[in-house]
Structure 1
């Protein structure tokens, strides 16, 4: 899966790559004999469920300021957990589909830069 992801850190505070997360997810699934359930369809539906949970956090808050300055730490922690759930399912889905997510994302950024040149916006 691609290179380093800026704010993802492992337990020691070190940067953690998509490949590291992918490896940990695979080990987690194997240890629990969950691989048989990790079909693309099942992983996608699980991720959509997590996106729903993420949406509920913002549902009645209206617009919120960048950095969430008025949020309680417990709300920010909950947000981090739900964002992580979505990310982890996305990584696992990409792996099961044989997609190098880091590479695909890097290529998409280049494609978007070409499609939407800064000088026009």
Structure 2
């Protein structure tokens, strides 16, 4: 499924996430403890992209489409748990 940022509502994204969780039988893990662990784990993966980088290095990294896409993917993973 290809999505565009334009025209997709947050509600639609929530519905997709709920359907994915149901298909994979992840509903059993959707409690406060496991969701907190998920957010922290994904945030740590995002953090790895920026750790020990200067502001200049960060700005250069964000100009690289491949690196920016990887960072965006980590942000998407975090958003899933939110």
Tell me whether the two structures share a fold, i.e. TM-score over 0.5. Answer: yes
More strand by share: 1
Aligned length: 79
Provide the C-alpha distance between the structure 2 equivalents of 1:19 and 1:33, rounded to a whole number of angstroms.
21
Q: After the TM superposition, which residues 1-121 of structure 1 pair with which residues of structure 2 at under 5 Å, given as runs?
A: 11-64=3-56, 68=59, 70-71=60-61, 72-90=64-82
Gaps of 5+ in 1: 1-9, 91-121
Q: TM-score, normalised by structure 2?
A: 0.81
Gaps of 5+ in 2: none
More helix by share: 2
Greater Cα radius of gyration, structure 1 or 2: 1
Segments ≥4 residues shifted beyond 6 Å: none
Q: TM-score, normalised by structure 1?
A: 0.57
